Structure 1
Amino acid sequence: MATTDDNHHHPSLKRQLGLVQATCYITGGIIGVGIFIGPATVLKGAGSSVGVSLSIWVVSGFLMYCGAMCYAEYGSRVPKSGGTYTYIREAFGELAGFVFLWTQLVLVRPLAVLLSCLASAEYIIRPVFLTCPDMAPTDAKILLGISILVITVAVNCYSVNYGAYYQTLATFCKVAALVVIIIGGFVHLAKGNTDHFDEPFKTNSEISPTSVSLTIYVCFYAYMGWDNVTVATEEVTNPKRNIPLAILFGLAISTVIYLSANVAYHAALTNSEIMSGVAVAVMFGERVLGPVRWIILPCVGISAAGISNAIIFTSSR
């Protein structure tokens, strides 16, 4: 705990999150299971058109960037932790802020943490039952999910820095997994396997405003998390500089990775395979990565655990 004046009348949180750590919280909060499960839904909404699908990913990233820049402005002008709760309270009063805070802490965030921990447990256990994933014991998944939750909460309670290190490690692991997928896909593409990109804007089904809207919503879900750092504004060093830069870098990294990963998926898999309902990263690993395909599932699990860490960190603020 630090203080803001010499008389120690106004306690505040210690500023200990630099640009790299703030960027990792944003990148780690954004990149999660969305890129591993979202491409199928996006492709369906795009009428099975590779070009339309990739365009939707780019447009969604730009729209999220516009919203993120508004938050960067809020973070610079309202130097208080709390994120959206603080901004709503300042703009509309205590009651509106309380209602938002209550729904977040009682309903939205606990469910998000629960789903992230269970998803992490699912993907960590799955390599053990790679040939028969349906036989993985449910009790084992629940116990592992609870263990991940307890460890994550304990780390964040013990030290902000340890929580930041954990987030940095999780971000590195998930980005490394996606880099492996991207490299594998582009190598596959460089070998002349470009058939899936012939007539990229050709659709096999009708595209309706409803389907496009739902598709953009799925992309928005995949991009969510860019507001993580604004809930800890008081803990970011030089916030007027680092918050806008962290949001800019975090969203730019995420958009490039999302777009590149989708290109890699389309290079190796047909539209029918992507939309088959099977986890696209699993199918990609079996098709392209060969004997190292088993690393994809644990990396997805680490990615989900990183999301739970980011949610727990921001919820406490």
Structure 2
Amino acid sequence: MAEKQTTELKREVGMGGVITNVLSISIGSGIFLLPALVYGILGHASILAYIFCGFIFMCLGLCFGELGNRVPDTGGLYVYINRAFGPMAGFIANILYWLGVGVLACGALMNALADIAGSYFPIFKETGMRVAFFAAISAFSCFLNFKGIKDSMVFIKILTWTKVLSLMALVSIALTQIDFANISWEGFPEFGQVGEASILLIFAFLGGELALANGGEMKDPTRTGPMGFIIGIVMVILGFCTIHLAAQGVLGDLMLTNQEAPLAELAKVIFGETGFLLVLILSFIAVWSTLSSIITLLPRILYAGAKDGLLHPVLSKVHPSHGTPYVAILFLGVLEFAFAASGSFRYLLVLVTGASLVIYFGAVLAYLKFRWKNKSDVPNYFRVPFGNTIGIITLIALAWVFFQLSNNELLAIGLFIVLLAVIYILRTQIKKRSNEPIIN
């Protein structure tokens, strides 16, 4: 029997898939490194940075949850900004999202996978082997993504829940061996120190909102997306706090002498030398899980921008049998491989945190604008209690974190936004002269 032909994305993602993607993206390589770095700044009071970042992301989760309910379309944060502020803001947000954040993150994650493998198998330190490895990872990920979101999610769930359950097991054992003297402190650290630690830590929380990007493939997007995302964010916050308390409670000042691998040291204390190998395998799975989710979800943002007329229409093509944005998948797969293999991403990684914060800022502004205009595509939509207050507090917190970035980071993100604005204006003028329709 012939497969049913379609020009639309297939709705095959349930709430469990959204939760899985939030956990997959947020619980990545950062959690294996950051506890020691945060401890180096705040010492015994390190948990304060987790609480502060957790508060920011809980507020963001509520804002994005309401947005996902109001605008249940493919594209996630990009589509919220585009609907609220028009095509120029949408064009900037779209490219900033998939290029300034997604592609660069994929390049870094592929290299992180090769580095982890290289610590045990030296052949992965050789350039030729690394390039072949990147090609294999890209091809495999694109193949699953091309076949359908359902196939991709099966693989992502296997990786994600393997790392989550493994971390839970490690932490559960560690919690029984905590020295409470290691997690108690007197007085509060300087606010500037909390900010310095938070700007490091916030990188670990970034990216979970990408789980909202495939709204057009969710079975019940007005419920699945918002509820799944909020549940996922709560789980990430609790997980990060628990992991840090376990590591700090067992290791204490040993974290200062093991800043490159605090969780490996934790496993070594509990399981002996075998613990290092276990955490090495776990970190590989964690990074691969994060990479797989980003590679799967990122083409949906590119597809949404093309469908809205902001990018070339060929990028909005949907495979007639599989119901996937196959041109966007192939385009980004090639781009991600090229950045990873060439190392070009390293010069642009400075954009990732800043670009993410700018997109978050734009999405929260969209959230407030929709609220003040009472605009929604969905009747009886979910509204956050005290939502205006939460939105304003979130904007202030994001602005404070944003200006903790270095001058070079602020300059890089500013120049990139200006460049995108100029490209949009030139593109609009060219369309006017050729009498092509302009999206408004």
Q: TM-score category by the smaller chain?
A: 0.7 to 0.9
Secondary structure in structure 1 of the residue aligned to 2:74: coil
Corresponding letter in the other structure for 2:162: C
Hey, what's the Cα distance between the residues in 2 that align with 1:112 and 1:79? 26
Residue 94 of structure 2 is matched in structure 1 by: 101
1:177-209, CA deviations, whole angstroms, 9 ceiling, x for partnerless residues?
3123202312323xxx44423xx1247xx9443
Q: How does 1:184-223 map to 2 (within 5 A)?
A: 184-189=173-178, 193-197=179-183, 200-202=184-186, 207-223=189-205
State the 1:285 CA deviation. 2.0
Q: How does 1:140-289 map to 2 (within 5 A)?
A: 140-189=129-178, 193-197=179-183, 200-202=184-186, 207-274=189-256, 276-289=258-271
Corresponding letter in the other structure for 1:290: G
8 Å contact from structure 1 (residues 122, 301) kept in 2 = no
State the 1:272 CA deviation. 4.4
Q: Is 1:314 the equivalent of 2:314?
A: no
State the 1:291 CA deviation. 4.8
Hey, what's the Cα distance between the residues in 2 that align with 1:65 and 1:14? 30
State the 1:142 CA deviation. 4.5
Hey, what's the Cα distance between the residues in 2 that align with 1:226 and 1:151? 23
Corresponding letter in the other structure for 1:28: S
8 Å contact from structure 1 (residues 121, 142) kept in 2 = no
Q: How many residues align?
A: 296
Q: How does 1:59-138 map to 2 (within 5 A)?
A: 59-128=52-121, 137-138=125-126
Corresponding letter in the other structure for 1:89: N
Higher relative contact order (CA 8 A, sep 6+): 1
Corresponding letter in the other structure for 1:99: I
State the 1:153 CA deviation. 2.1
State the 1:144 CA deviation. 2.6
8 Å contact from structure 1 (residues 61, 255) kept in 2 = yes
Unpaired runs of 5+ residues, structure 2, are: 301-440
Cα gap change, 1:2 to 1:58, in 2 (>3 Å): farther
Hey, what's the Cα distance between the residues in 1 that align with 2:195 and 2:17? 34
State the 1:66 CA deviation. 0.8
State the 1:136 CA deviation. 6.1
Residue 37 of structure 1 is matched in structure 2 by: 33
- Report which of the two structures shows the higher radius of gyration computed on alpha carbons: 2
8 Å contact from structure 1 (residues 117, 146) kept in 2 = no
State the 1:254 CA deviation. 1.3
Hey, what's the Cα distance between the residues in 1 that align with 2:111 and 2:280? 14
Secondary structure in structure 1 of the residue aligned to 2:163: helix
Cα gap change, 1:141 to 1:286, in 2 (>3 Å): farther
Corresponding letter in the other structure for 2:247: Y
TM-score using structure 1 length:
0.85
Hey, what's the Cα distance between the residues in 2 that align with 1:146 and 1:210? 43
8 Å contact from structure 2 (residues 212, 229) kept in 1 = no
Aligned Cα root-mean-square deviation (Å): 2.5
Among candidates 51, 55, 63, match of residue 48 of structure 2 = 55
Unpaired runs of 5+ residues, structure 1, are: 130-134
8 Å contact from structure 1 (residues 68, 226) kept in 2 = no
Hey, what's the Cα distance between the residues in 1 that align with 2:224 and 2:144? 24
Cα gap change, 1:274 to 1:177, in 2 (>3 Å): farther
Residue 281 of structure 2 is matched in structure 1 by: 298
8 Å contact from structure 1 (residues 41, 275) kept in 2 = no
Secondary structure in structure 2 of the residue aligned to 1:316: helix
Corresponding letter in the other structure for 1:112: A
Among candidates 19, 24, 29, match of residue 28 of structure 1 = 24
Corresponding letter in the other structure for 1:137: K
Residue 132 of structure 1 is matched in structure 2 by: none
Cα gap change, 1:128 to 1:184, in 2 (>3 Å): farther
8 Å contact from structure 1 (residues 28, 167) kept in 2 = yes
Hey, what's the Cα distance between the residues in 1 that align with 2:185 and 2:36? 17
1:226-279, CA deviations, whole angstroms, 9 ceiling, x for partnerless residues?
212221111111222222221122112212221121122113213243464321
Structure 1 range deviating more: 176-185 or 107-116: 176-185
Hey, what's the Cα distance between the residues in 1 that align with 2:102 and 2:166? 26
Structure 1 range deviating more: 271-280 or 249-258: 271-280
TM-score using structure 2 length:
0.62
Percent of aligned pairs with the same amino acid: 21
1:87-141, CA deviations, whole angstroms, 9 ceiling, x for partnerless residues?
1111111112112222333333111001111112222342346xxxxx9634344
